[in-house]
Amino acid sequence: MHITREINKDIFYVGGSERRISLFENIYPLTYGVSYNSYIILDEKTALLETVDHSISELFFENIKYVLKDRKLDYLVIHHMEPDHAASIKELLDIYKDLTLVLSAQAFNMLKNFFRDVDFSSFNVQLIKEGDKLILGKHELTFVAAPMVHWPEVMLSYDNYTKTLFSADAFGTFNALDGHLFMDEYDYEHDFLDEARRYYTNIVGKYGIQVQSVLKKASTLDIKMICPLHGPILRTSSDITYLINKYQLWSTYTPEVDGVLIVYSSIYGHSENAANVLANELSNKGFKKIKIYDTSKIDTSILLSEAFKYSKLVLISSSYNAGVFPLMEKFILDLKAHLYQNRKIAIIENGTWAPSAYNAINAVISTLKNIELYPTKITMMSSISEQNLNEFNNLIEFLK
């Protein structure tokens, strides 16, 4: 059964949510699913903005049919070629054979590579670049290039009539939609913020400079609504300002919270004990925001997101194979891959005969930009010693 709604003058939501998916991009765990948003504009001409993932294509085609009624589909606008949005294009072309594909030249190359058995010479194709317009009637879409937010071919579009920005992956989030389509209908901080941060940091966290460039372009537009490809639609000025401000922080690698994040890898509990002893002392000394995570229990995508949130990071790890515990290694390599920077970091290693975690962690952390690394090597031999307690006290001074 179709599930659609008019979200603005002549603009209809035709996407949907799924909760069966366990790994987004086959890597990021999802507990509460995800939405794949798609929109139709009905004007003198009709335009579909994006298709959806295969998982909800049956609903999607019912939605399109219901919204179009007896009208033909004139355009498919493709902002982004990643298959979570582009997977249903071939099926769409089988049904709506007369439509014109509107996309960038780079997106068109990707389209041909993804769908090698489609003869695109039989379709009308309109290649667009930044500043080009697609006139539908009252609604005029102006295209804005957004390379690497999230792939290089990405375009956004701005509808001059309703002042709506169709923002592709930008301002999106994990989590399915629970009936409501708009951000102001949710308790966003409670229901979405952690997942929006996890989505941003893992998907585009590496491309802060490119996100900054898009935010600069967006600041020249009078935006009344933002329609992302995942998660709720933004329609109030306070929600738009709120999320743009979050993107400003995340894309400049600026912490949201002044606090200490302790991430540990522990085999038999002694490194875990160090995390708890340190946190107890931090609390005792008046630190307000402290969070502890175990790399063996918490997915790396969450650890990365939390590292972007907090201003200080303490890494505590067992040694392993003359290096560092594998899940700690995974985490620090992820920090490096996402250009993690502008933080205070301290390292505590643990080992029973030849501790090796410090050097292995330091080899990665020392390559990060704008990191204030605690200069003293703290080594635990199997468990916390009296000397370690004194070293923790000195470390706490550094973390203030």
CA 318, CA 348: separation in Å to the nearest integer? 9
50 counts as binding ligand FEO under rule CB under 6 A: no
Window contacting ligand FEO (CB under 6 A); options: 77-85, 88-96, 136-144, 208-216: 77-85
Which residue of the chain is nearest ligand FEO when measured via CB?
Answer: 82
Residue by residue, DSSP assigns 123-192 as SEEEE--TT-EEE-SS-EEEEEE-TTSSSTT-EEEEETTTTEEE-TTTT--SB---S--BGGGS-HHHHT
Q: What is the C-alpha radius of gyration for the chain, rounded to an integer number of angstroms?
A: 24
How many CA atoms lie less than 13 Å away from 226 in the CB half-sphere?
A: 29
150 counts as binding ligand FEO under rule CB under 6 A: yes
Residue by residue, DSSP assigns 132-144 as -EEE-SS-EEEEE
84 counts as binding ligand FEO under rule CB under 6 A: yes
Q: Which is nearer to ligand FEO, 15 or 255 (CB)?
A: 15
312 counts as binding ligand FEO under rule CB under 6 A: no
The closest of 171, 172, 167, 139 to 154, measured between CA atoms, is 167
Helix, coil or strand: residue 300 = helix
Per-residue CA distances from 266 to 80, 256, 273, 297, 329 (Å): 41, 28, 9, 11, 13
Window contacting ligand FEO (CB under 6 A); options: 81-89, 113-121, 352-360, 390-398: 81-89
Among positions 42, 214, 225, 229, the unique one binding ligand FEO when judged by CB under 6 A: 229
CA 272, CA 284: separation in Å to the nearest integer? 18
Using CB under 6 A, count the residues that bind ligand FEO.
8
Q: What kind and span of H or E run contains 263?
A: strand 257-265
In the chain, the amino acid numbered 360 is: A
- Angle between helical axes of 300-309 and 326-337 (0-180°, round to 10): 50
Window contacting ligand FEO (CB under 6 A); options: 76-84, 130-138, 258-266, 305-313: 76-84
Q: Which is nearer to ligand FEO, 171 or 331 (CB)?
A: 171
85 counts as binding ligand FEO under rule CB under 6 A: yes
79 counts as binding ligand FEO under rule CB under 6 A: no
169 counts as binding ligand FEO under rule CB under 6 A: yes
Q: Which is nearer to ligand FEO, 207 or 392 (CB)?
A: 207
What minimum distance in Å lies between the beta carbon of 37 and ligand FEO? 9
Distance, C-alpha 386 to centroid of its chain: 43
Which residue in the block uniquely carries the two structure tokens 């500043």?
A: 131
What minimum distance in Å lies between the beta carbon of 95 and ligand FEO? 23
Q: Which is nearer to ligand FEO, 203 or 360 (CB)?
A: 203
What minimum distance in Å lies between the beta carbon of 333 and ligand FEO? 22
Q: Which is nearer to ligand FEO, 10 or 84 (CB)?
A: 84
Window contacting ligand FEO (CB under 6 A); options: 79-87, 139-147, 258-266, 337-345: 79-87
Binding stretches for ligand FEO (CB under 6 A) = 80, 82, 84-85, 150, 169, 229-230
